[in-house]
Amino acid sequence: MTAKTNSPPLRWVKSSYSTQNGGACVEWAPDRASTTGAVPIRDSKRPTGPVLTVSPSAFAGLVALAKSADV
């Protein structure tokens, strides 16, 4: 039996570091992050796939890594 929740669906935002050609498509849910303090992250190519949830400081580290990467 599956538990029902009253949580609204997540609004996913694609990373500005994702390409329009389908490469490196990372999305996050800022609304959930601001209400729960946990940052959901997923692969936009697999919207029904797993969701990684990290702390705000871990998310900031991922963003800093993406900014510093030599693409």
CA distance 66 to 11: 22
Per-residue pLDDT, 33: 86
User: Which of the four pLDDT bands, split at 50, 70 and 90, describes residue 1?
Assistant: very low
pLDDT tens digits for range 13-71: 987 766 666 566 789 999 988 889 899 999 888 889 999 999 999 999 988 888 887 65
Task: Give the E-state strand segments of 1-71 in sequence order.
Answer: 13-14, 26-28, 39-43, 52-54
